[in-house]
Amino acid sequence: MKRSPLVVLTLLALFASPAVVQAARNCGTCAKSIKGRYITSGNKAYCSQTCFVTTLDECDHCGIKLKSRYITSEKKKFCSNACLESILPQCEICEKPLIRRHTIKGHVFCDLHAKSPRCTACQLPFLRGGELPDLRYVCETCNEIVIYNMEEAMKLFRLARQELYQITARKSRQIPKLKIVGRDRLNKLTNLRVDQQDGMQLNGFYHRTETTRTSRNGFGKTTTAKKVEKTIYILYALSPDTFLTTAVHEFTHDMIAEFFPHLDGLPLWAEEGICQYVAVLLCRKRNFSEQLESIQTSPDRIYGDGYRYFEKKLGPNNWSGLLQWMKRTDPKKLPAAAPK
Ligand SMILES: [Zn+2]
Ligand SMILES: [Zn+2]
Ligand SMILES: [Zn+2]
Ligand SMILES: [Zn+2]
Ligand SMILES: [Zn+2]
C-alpha cells in the first residue's frame, strides 16, 4: 500500500512528542527555538537571514560572505574574479595574474615570458636586456655585474689561483694565460674534447701543450728543453661567482697536470669529476649556492656523473680523501664511463 505524504505528516504530528518537534526547530546558529518563518540549508534550520549568513564561507581575499555563486581555485574560494586575481601570482615581467604559471628558479612567469630569451647569467627571462655578440642574452640587472673586461677578469683569476692554493696547498709556478672568449669560440675549443650531446654548456676550458726540443751542443751532447704552454679560456659575461667557480675548476686541471703527471690519460669523467669536486669545495666555502646546486644536479654523464662519483666515494669537504685517491689511482684501471 502506498501512503500519500500528507498521511505521513499527520502520523508524525500524532505520535511525536512536543519536545522532539521543538528540538528539530532550533536555530542552527543562535539555538533559539524557531517560531514562524525560518530558513533551511542542508538539514539545519535558521531563525533569521543574519543567523543563516554567519554559516556561509567567506571569500578568501575580501572576507565577504559567499552566496550561491563563487569561484574556487586551489582549495580557496573567492566572491569574484577580481578577488581571485588579486591573490594569484603575477608574471614577474608583464604582471599578468596567472592561473597557469611557469616557475623558473623560484620565479613566476606567464606562458609567453617563460618562452622568451633568458639571461645567460641568472638564466631568467627578462624585461630589459640585450643580446651579446655571441648571441647570448644578458638582463639589465646582471649586465651591471657580469665580467666583460680583462682587468676585472684578472682580479678574479688571481683570486681563483689563491683559493685553489688554500684548498689544495698546491700552486703551479707557471700561471696559465687567461683568455676571455664568447660562446662561439669556447664551443669550438671544447668540441675538440667533449662530445656535447647532452647539451652541457661549458663556461671554461683548460688547454695545455708540451713541446720538447732536442738539440746537440758543440761537444756532441744532446740537451732537451721542454716548453709548456697553458691557457685558461673563460666565457665572458659570467657573474663574478660563476667566474670564480669556473676559474677554480680550470686551475684544478692545471694542478692535475703539474702535480700528478701519472694521472695523464684519466678518463674524462674522472678528470672533470675531480675539477668539479674542487669547485664544490670553493662553492661551500663561499656559499655559492646556485653554482653548487648546478654542479651537483648536472645531468651530464661526464661532469654530473663524474662529480657524483667522488661525492659518493669521499663525502663532502674531503680534499685529503681526494688527494689520496689521486696519489693511488692508476688511470688505466678506471672504467671509460663514470660508475654509478
Ligand atoms: Zn538564530
Ligand atoms: Zn572577495
Ligand atoms: Zn608575462
Ligand atoms: Zn640576469
Ligand atoms: Zn674541465
Same domain, 298 and 239: yes
- Same domain for 279 and 174: yes
Look up residue 15 and give its three cell numbers. Answer: 505520535
In a domain, 9, yes or no: no
Domain boundary residue among 143, 161, 178? Answer: 143
State whether ipTM is beyond 0.85.
no
How confident is the model at residue 280, as a pLDDT? 98
CA of 51 to the centre of ligand 1 (A): 5
Neighbours of ion ligand 4 (CB under 5 A): 119, 121-122, 139, 142
Q: Are residues 201 and 281 in the same domain?
A: yes
d(CA 225, CA 213) in angstroms, rounded, equals: 5
Rounded to the nearest whole angstrom, what is the distance from the C-alpha of residue 115 to the centroid of ligand 3? 10
Specify the amino acid at residue 2: K
* CA of 81 relative to ligand 4 center, distance in Å: 33
Q: Give 22 Cα–ligand 5 centroid separation in angstroms.
A: 84
Count of domains observed in the chain: 3
Cell triple for 94: 608583464
Q: Which residues surround ligand 3, an ion (CB under 5 A)?
A: 91, 93-94, 110, 113
Distance 15 CA to ligand 1 centre (A): 27
Domain CATH for 108: 3.30.40
74 belongs to a structural domain: no
**In this structure, which ligand is nearest to the CA of 144?**
4
Ligand 2 centroid–CA 230 distance in Å is 67
CA 63 to centroid of ligand 1, rounded, Å: 21
Mean pLDDT by 10 residues, the chain (340 residues): 37 33 71 87 87 89 86 86 87 89 91 93 93 94 96 97 96 95 89 53 92 84 89 97 97 97 95 97 96 94 95 96 97 91
pLDDT for the residue 69: 85
Ligand 2 center to 109 CA (angstroms): 25
Instruction: Name the domain boundary from 127, 143, 159.
Output: 143
* Number of helices (H), then strands (E), in the chain: 13, 11
31: containing domain = 19-55
Q: What is the pLDDT, as a whole number, of residue 199?
A: 56
The rounded Å distance from CA 23 to ligand 1 centre is: 14
Indicate whether 130 and 189 sit together in one domain: no
Q: Which ligand is nearest to the CA of 83?
A: 2
CA distances from 47 to 53, 55, 64 (A): 11, 12, 21
Cβ partners under 8 Å of residue 218, min gap 6: none
In this structure, the answer to whether residues 237 and 196 fall within a common structural domain is yes
Check whether residue 124 and residue 194 sit in a common domain.
no
172 and 239 inside one domain: yes
Q: Are residues 128 and 37 in the same domain?
A: no
Distance in Å, CA 260 to ligand 3 centroid? 52
Residues 296 and 320 in one domain: yes
Instruction: Specify whether 182 is located in the same domain as 321.
Output: yes
**How distant is the alpha carbon of residue 319 from its chain centre?**
26
3-state SS assignment for residue 215: strand
CA distance linking residue 118 with residue 272, whole number of Å = 27
- What local confidence, expressed as pLDDT, does residue 24 receive? 58
Residue 138 lies in a domain: yes
| Cα(238) to centroid(ligand 4), Å | 10
14 part of a folded domain:
no
- Are 127 and 154 in a shared domain? no
Helical packing angle, 150-168 and 240-259, nearest 10°:
50
Q: Are residues 187 and 298 in the same domain?
A: yes
